[in-house]
Structure 1
């Protein structure tokens, strides 16, 4: 029986999402005979945690579905033990990289990966806490349908489970390590209000995200598709294609990964940085591994606390950190593209030593372009006025901290990459109680 992890990292009350995910887990059991471990890595506290706990307690038992709801204390105990068992030179640093005090999108998904390893799962199916399933004729379109049809199989076998294939016969023995779809609804980075206030400021802010070594025309062309999903239109829920995917078709809010991917290469444990959970997807895509892209898109939405007061400034600073992180990530992505299938070893798995060397090579890049990026971001926010002027003040006040954090994020990622395989082995050895 296939044992899989349906993972939900969350930092907010999301009882409705928990109920929906339990339905998806039950669907996977009924349709595919899988054993599904719904793993909720919950960093909420007090009343918000109780709301989530109540939702878990209210779930009807389903044979084959096992629910694990870990609070901060439970996660800390698990991760502390894993870090210690891994033999790393600095277990406390590893613990901080896995469970930092601030928001870290890569870290929360890394916790799901270690939890999946501890549960003996062969794959991780990732969902967000701010989405809805698309509903067609009263039925929820569960992405796990396509994920379990293909994930982990040799590509030559996965052909039987897809509607279309662009697979090169020479790649038939390569495993399908990635299955993904897109999203509908709001932008996956919450900056849509800026476009409503001033489309030109929006264009310039998004342009700051594009590769700095591109021509002006190339950078402008990247603005239009950035952070957008797909339109809400009629679709075939069984439509899917197997072959080398485009990175623009892969989204972390609606993805499943085979363990041979995430057990080798962790996500960036960057503090308060959007997009830090995408580099693994880039590695798998640029290595030209076959993947399945389907049409069971989720519906993205944003919660109100991100749009007012301190929550607004905090979230928008994560976008600023995204801009700064690209100084370190785009050179890495360029190297991945250049290497292509050479990123893989004879087992069709990522060459982690090569990736680690590449990451280390980015740490000491000249950051003058990041200083210019902050200058421009501050100017654009001030131009918008209102609450964006307050955001501009925060960018100015935290300027040095933001620059230093972006560099430190790259350095700490290298530390975690080197420690990752022993940590995965330690998690598998330790286990996670049902």
Structure 2
């Protein structure tokens, strides 16, 4: 029986989300010939971790669902074994990149990727702890249904299962590599207040995320749409599109990747950098791999912690690092898509091309990085109040932050080089779960799941 991994990384209280995502896992197992491994990767403090363990223990058994809940000690034990078996160079550094002491949006998902390999899964479906499902007629609107309908299947076979197709016919024989939707509700990045305080400052800051050289009309549209997701309209019915999915149309709280993508290239493990976990979304798009875009958007909200003074400052630091890292990552995507492109003769992502693009040094020079930092600091000072206070903190850390961005790229190249060995070393060595719904019963199979019913 085919296995898939539905993962929920968390570092905060989210017992209600655990229960909701478990319902989504049960839906997947009921409607498709699959075994769903619900993987909760928990970096929470002791009290929240205990509450999550209680929530997991209280989940009703569901046929076809296996629940795994790992704290950081359990994750580290698994990673140590995988690193040791892999024989990679700099094993201690690789372990640190997989489980860093700071917040890393990429690293937590990379851990899910490796554990999915260990569990024999064919795809990874990611949700976030600060999100909720929409409802229609009293029932939750679950993205996993569209994900399992399409992920891994030949695009030509999916064309009749979606609302519409906008895919180049030349790509019809390629498998669907990614399925995703976006979010509704609050913006994913806290720039609404900046826009309200000073629209020009907002445009200057958000404009740093747009690749250089874009025509002004495109740039304006990207700035206007950045971080807004799918707006606020409520779900009224399904709309699915077979296409090469634009990265701006999906969110990492609502995404599924085939293992032919994440099994070959990881996400950047940069710490304190929002948006670093979107690397594979851009890679799939640049490689012209088929995807499905759906409108089962997840409801986004901001936690109370993010609204606190400490949470605000931490988030501005992460936003700053994202704006500094953006041109480096954009240069990697451009370089990887050049020449023969990132795919081999079998249509699989070539990790060597990605690693070479990272090491190519095609990103901005240090002077350009410094100019971008100046724009961020100057913008925050214009806003005044707590933004001016954040500018003081940024200024004090200026050289360190600029250096971190370049080190992050070198670390990413190191991890890409090690990734194939880590993935192979993980296969067949699953960690021991803290809680199971039932034991795994079959190895990974290559045929994609087939629908048994409708949502």
TM class by shorter chain equals: over 0.9
Q: Unaligned stretches of 5+ in structure 1?
A: none
Mapped contact 1:327–1:367 kept (Cα < 8 A): no
Q: Which residue of 2 aligns with 1:267?
A: 267
Q: Structure 2 matches for 1:308-347, cutoff 5 A? A: 308-338=308-338, 342-347=341-346
For residue 363 of structure 1, report the CA deviation from its aligned partner.
7.3
Change (3 A) 1:60 1:155: same
Residue of structure 2 equivalent to 1:4: 4
**Which range moves more in the overlay, 408-417 or 422-431?**
422-431
Q: Which residue is 1:392 aligned to?
A: 391
Contact 1:181/1:251 (<8 A) preserved: yes
Deviates more, 1:393-402 or 1:183-192: 183-192
Q: Is the 8 A contact 2:229 2:249 kept in 1?
A: no
Equivalents in 2 of 1:234, 1:274: separation in Å? 27
Q: Summarize deviations over 1:218-246 as a string: whole Å, max 9, x none.
A: 54442101111113335554321112222
For residues 163-214 of structure 1, give each alpha carbon's deviation from its aligned partner in whole angstroms, at most 9, with x where no partner exists: 2123333322211110011111111112222222222222222122222344
Q: Which residue of the partner structure matches residue 368 of structure 1? A: 367
Mapped pair 1:142 → 2:142: yes
2:412 maps to 1:417:
no
Rounded to whole Å, the distance in 2 between the matches of 1:327 and 1:166 is: 29
Tell me which residue corresponds to 1:51. Answer: 51
**1:87 aligned residue:** 87
Name 2:287's counterpart in structure 1: 287
Q: Which residue matches 2:453?
A: none
- 1:28-47 Cα distance to aligned partner (Å, 9 max, x none): 11111321111011111211
Q: Deviations over 1:237-286 (max 9, x none)?
A: 43211122222223212110111010000000001001101111111111
Match of 1:70 in 2: 70
- Residues paired across the two proteins, number: 433
C-alpha displacement of 1:337: 4.7
Structure 2 regions of 5+ residues with no counterpart?
A: 434-455
Deviations 1:322-373 (A, max 9, x none): 011013112122234545x832112111111111111111377512112111
Can you list the C-alpha shifts for 1:261-314, whole angstroms capped at 9, x where unaligned?
Answer: 100000000010011011111111111111111110111111111122222111
Q: Which residue is 1:170 aligned to?
A: 170
54 and 370 in structure 1: CA distance in 2 versus 1, 3 angstrom threshold: same
Higher relative contact order (Cα pairs below 8 Å, separated by 6+ residues)? 2
Match in the other structure for 1:115: 115
Q: Give SS of 1:278's match.
A: helix
Measured at CA, do residues 131 and 234 of structure 1 come closer, stay the same or move farther in structure 2, by a change above 3 Å?
closer
What are the superposed Cα offsets for residues 57-99 of structure 1, whole Å, 9 maximum, x if unpaired?
2211112111111001101101111111110122111110000
Distance 1:217 1:170 in 2: 29
Q: State the superposition RMSD in angstroms.
A: 1.7
Q: Which residue of 2 aligns with 1:209?
A: 209
Q: Is this contact kept in 2: 1:363–1:407, CA < 8 A?
A: no
Partner of 2:444: none
- Alpha carbons of 1:296 and 1:162: their partners in 2 closer, same or farther (altered >3 Å)? same
Q: Determine helix, strand or coil for the equivalent of 2:277.
A: coil
Please give the residue correspondences for 1:149-168 in structure 2 after superposition, counting only pairs within 5 Å.
149-168=149-168
Normalising by structure 1, report the TM-score. 0.96
Normalised by the length of structure 2, the TM-score is 0.91
